[in-house]
Structure 1
Amino acid sequence: MLKVIDRASLASALNEPNLDPDLRALIPLRVEQLGHDAKLFVIQGGDTPDVINAVVGFAITGNDPVAFNYNFISDHGRWFEIALILDDVSTRIFVENDPGTELGIHGLCLSHFWPDGEGEGR
């Protein structure tokens, strides 16, 4: 799980040797578009609900998730992008589109693009 909330954490994230190339391009683009006050979180396969909720700062997933409003969800292939405002700050949550990604948050993203019943019989 990555958390980008300032220039130091941005540099640290971009220096991760195993960072996905698409994410390496998306993160600085969003910081440039939204400004350095923006918060970016990256949820990857293997991240548990406890870790995700602690880093994001509220129960976004798990057994008792808090309902939250988001502005939009974008599909970037291997990554979904959830746009929302947290504490008056532009926030982006990148969610890995992978079977190993936590089911609650991954399911939210998938359901946005694949409504109920659309995949039946395939």
Structure 2
Amino acid sequence: MLSLTDRDAVTAALTDPALDADLRALIGLRVWQVDTDRRRPLKDILQIVVVQPGDPPEVIHDAVGFPICWDQAEQPSWEWMNDHGPWFELAYVLTDAFGMLVFVADHPDTNHTLRFNCLGVTSRTPAADKT
């Protein structure tokens, strides 16, 4: 689980060779697109949460601040969702000035309900489950 709320955390993620290269590119692109006023702290504009395989629902909910694995199973509450192959990108608009991006790994060990919601919107075969 990653929760990126400041520029130092974003820089650490972008320079971490252990982190998936596609994910690093997505994080870098979104921060570049959103972080246009460098005078404001990033935490006042955007939070990025990365849900990785094996992250339990409680940890995901704590990082996001509300349940996205249980209560939202039948009605996803994201504003929009992008399918990037190995990663799903969920956008939450929480106020007029603050948003959250949640990147969800398309992996069999990712929280089943959250991954199911993402796959249901994309209507595709899960990449990680293909044989």
Q: Report the TM-score, using the length of structure 1 for normalisation.
A: 0.83
Equivalent residue runs for 1:29-48 within 5 Å: 29-35=29-35, 36=42, 37-48=45-56
Contact 1:43 1:96 in 2 (8 A): yes
Q: 1:70 aligns with which of 70, 78, 101?
A: 78
Contact 2:76 2:117 in 1 (8 A): no
1:14 alignment partner in structure 2: 14
Unaligned segments of structure 2, at least 5 residues: 36-41, 125-131
Instruction: Say how many residue pairs are matched.
Output: 114
* Larger displacement relative to structure 2 (72-81 or 29-38): 29-38
Measured after TM superposition, the shift of residue 92 of structure 1 is: 0.8
Q: What is the CA deviation profile of residues 68-114 of structure 1, one whole-angstrom value per residue up to 9, with x for unaligned ones?
A: 63221111010000111124412111000011100111111000011
Distance between the aligned counterparts of 1:41 and 1:33, measured in 2?
17
Distance between the aligned counterparts of 1:77 and 1:5, measured in 2?
25
1:3 alignment partner in structure 2: 3
Unaligned segments of structure 1, at least 5 residues: 116-122
Measured after TM superposition, the shift of residue 60 of structure 1 is: 1.3
Distance between the aligned counterparts of 2:95 and 2:114, measured in 1?
20
